[in-house]
Structure 1
Amino acid sequence: MSLPTGVERRTVDDRERLVTRGEPVYGEPTVGEWRVWDAGRSKLGAMLSIGVETGLDGGETVLYLGAASGTTVSHVADFCGPTYAVEFAPRPARDLVGVASSRENLFPLLKDARRPETYAHVVERDLGVIVQDVATRGQADVALRNRRFLRDDGRLLLAVKARSEDVTAAPADVFDRVREQLAEGYEILETRRLDRYHADHLAVVARPR
């Protein structure tokens, strides 16, 4: 699997790690201008580490849902174009604003990903990528509601958290239900479990129908 332009593999502390070029954010190791992308703290980093075909080339305009304090979205902004980062909780959103101060292409939005109409006037249409990492019930519904922003050949990169969806159900059953729901608006291209880095998580790559 080829990595997006701007993402490389480097040997750090005797291990091969993903790296991007940018200002450090969360105490990650650095190699010159390059910073380690910790797959154990990033679902998208985990997807790339295990070889999921994300379709990312580098330079895309991105809508990131569930940006939290900016760990993963900071790496995305290192190698992508304009990156709209949606976060609902005020405390991590404040940290996100600090991360954006050194990245001119990163735009924090204190909004609810379940209500895309509240940021539709800000976010561009015909985006190349939506990255979704939202810990809530109705993760497929969030993806379907935000589908409006993707161009026809765009990609949804979704990390499904089974325990956020239904803490009582078997993760495999949760993943089956989410795939079923997503099929209402997306063609699913690939799914992979992320258990090597994140227990009870499923990576989904999809494109709009």
Structure 2
Amino acid sequence: MTPELPDGVERRPFDERERLATRGDPVYGEPTDGDWRVWDAGRSKLGAMLSVGMDTGLDGGETVLYLGAASGTTVSHVADFAGPTYAVEFAPRPTRDLLPVAEARENLFPLLKDARKPETYAHVVEPVDVLVQDVATRGQAEVANRNRQFLREDGRLLAVVKARSEDVTADPEDVFDEFLDALSGYEVLETATLDPYHEDHLAVVARPTR
């Protein structure tokens, strides 16, 4: 049985096929139908996780820490159905693009910070129900380990491992295995590749074990 989508996310017909959609102001020219806007799984790893039927544990209304927010493609959809959403992005240019996205969503808080240094935003971020990790860097498991401190005991890590960001020459399966081996303080609940939406990406659902 396919897990239910979070409240505020639906599969709706667009272009004669069912696609994910959320209610909110469009931010990058996606198709809309009234208040609903397409959540393109080809541009969103979290959208792809929902599209392939992973049990993310998302219900709607959660407090979220999103690492690797970029210009807001995915995190804008998250803020459409979640509660307070903290969006961490390291690069100044995409953070500038993220600001107008946040202006239209009073629950979305952009942070120009490095996800590898959670101590720089620990004074701002409250305990969260969901940690979404979508960072393109080496040491992706260590990023998840360092940010585990923000997760509530019953929270969820939704991480996407980008094989080419770790080692462009390595076999992706080896990179995925190394990530799972290096993940500390989590119990892995589910994994899945994100083909055909994103090549050489592994999605991981885990919960803290402390």
Could you tell me the TM-score, scaled by structure 1's length? 0.98
Structure 1 vs Structure 2: percent identity of aligned residues? Answer: 79
Give me the whole-angstrom Cα distance separating, in 2, the residues matched to 1:203 and 1:41: 15
3-state DSSP class of the match of 2:42?
helix
Q: Which runs of 5+ in 1 are unaligned?
A: none
Deviation at 1:196, TM superposition (A): 1.0
Give me the whole-angstrom Cα distance separating, in 2, the residues matched to 1:155 and 1:203: 13
Pairing partner for 2:98 from 96, 99, 111: 96
Which residue number corresponds to residue 15 of structure 1?
Answer: 17
**Within 5 A, what are the aligned runs for 1:1-209?**
1-125=3-127, 127-182=128-183, 184-209=184-209
Deviations 1:37-86, CA, capped at 9 Å, x for gaps: 00000000000011000000000000000000000000000000000000
Q: Tell me how large the CA RMSD over aligned residues is.
A: 0.4
Deviations 1:143-199, CA, capped at 9 Å, x for gaps: 0000000011100000100000111110000000000111x2110000000021000
Give me the whole-angstrom Cα distance separating, in 2, the residues matched to 1:27 and 1:186: 37
Give me the whole-angstrom Cα distance separating, in 1, the residues matched to 2:110 and 2:17: 33
Give me the whole-angstrom Cα distance separating, in 1, the residues matched to 2:56 and 2:27: 24
Give me the whole-angstrom Cα distance separating, in 2, the residues matched to 1:135 and 1:204: 15
Give me the whole-angstrom Cα distance separating, in 2, the residues matched to 1:11 and 1:21: 14
Could you tell me the TM-score, scaled by structure 2's length? 0.98
Give me the whole-angstrom Cα distance separating, in 2, the residues matched to 1:169 and 1:186: 25
Give me the whole-angstrom Cα distance separating, in 2, the residues matched to 1:201 and 1:195: 8
Give me the whole-angstrom Cα distance separating, in 1, the residues matched to 2:104 and 2:145: 32
Number of positions where the alignment pairs a residue of Structure 1 with one of Structure 2: 207
Give me the whole-angstrom Cα distance separating, in 2, the residues matched to 1:61 and 1:144: 19
Deviations 1:124-161, CA, capped at 9 Å, x for gaps: 02x10000000000000000000000011100000100
3-state DSSP class of the match of 1:67?
coil
Q: Which runs of 5+ in 2 are unaligned?
A: none
